[in-house]
Amino acid sequence: MLSFTSQRLAVALSVALTVSIVAFLLLHLSGDLATAIAGPEATAAQIAEIRHQFGLDRPMTLQYLDWLWRALHFDFGNSFYYRDTVTSLVASRMPVTMTLGAISLMLALVIAIPLGVLAAVYSGTIVDRLALGFCVLGQAVPAFCLGLGLIIVFAVHLHWLPVSGTASWKNYIMPSVALGWYAVPAVMRLSRNGMLEVLSSDYIRTARAKGLRPTVVILKHALRNAIIPVVALAAVQFGFMLGGSIVIEAVFNMQGLGYLAWEAIARNDFPVVQAVVLILAVIYVALTFLADVANAFLDPRIRLA
Residues from 157 through 196 that contact another protein (CB under 8 A): 193, 196
* 134 half-sphere exposure, CB direction, 13 A CA radius: 19
Question: Which among 23-31, 39-47, 87-95, 109-117 is the span making contact with another protein, rule CB under 8 A?
Answer: 23-31
Nearest to residue 97, comparing CAs of 257, 240, 216?
257
Report CA torsion sign: 109, 111, 117, 119.
Answer: negative
SS3 54: coil
Determine if 276 is a binding residue for another protein (CB under 8 A).
yes
User: Taking a C-beta distance cutoff of 8 angstroms, is the pair 204, 217 a contact?
Assistant: yes
208 binds another protein (CB under 8 A): yes
Q: How far is the CB of 136 from another protein (least distance, A)?
A: 6
Shortest gap between Cβ of 266 and another protein (angstroms)? 7
- Of the two residues 48 and 127, which places its CB atom closer to another protein in the complex? 127
Contact between 99 and another protein per CB under 8 A: no
Among 48, 102, 161, 216, binds another protein (CB under 8 A): 216
Alpha-carbon gap, residue 121 to 208, rounded angstroms? 14
Q: CA 49 → CA 12, 76, 166, distances in Å? A: 39, 21, 42
Q: Which of 113, 118, 178, 242 binds another protein (CB under 8 A)?
A: 242
The answer to whether 85 contacts another protein (rule: CB under 8 A) is no
State yes or no: residue 14 binds another protein (CB under 8 A). yes
Shortest Å, Cβ 207 to another protein? 7
Q: Tell me the site size for another protein, rule CB under 8 A.
A: 76
Residues 128-147 interacting with another protein (rule: CB under 8 A): 136-137, 139-145
Q: Is the separation of the CB atoms in 296 and 4 below 8 Å? A: yes
Nearest residue to 165 via CA among 255, 226, 227: 255
Do 298 and 292 form a contact (C-beta atoms < 8 A)?
no
Return the residue of 112, 117, 285, 296 that touches another protein, per CB under 8 A. 285
Check residue 261 for interaction with another protein (CB under 8 A).
yes
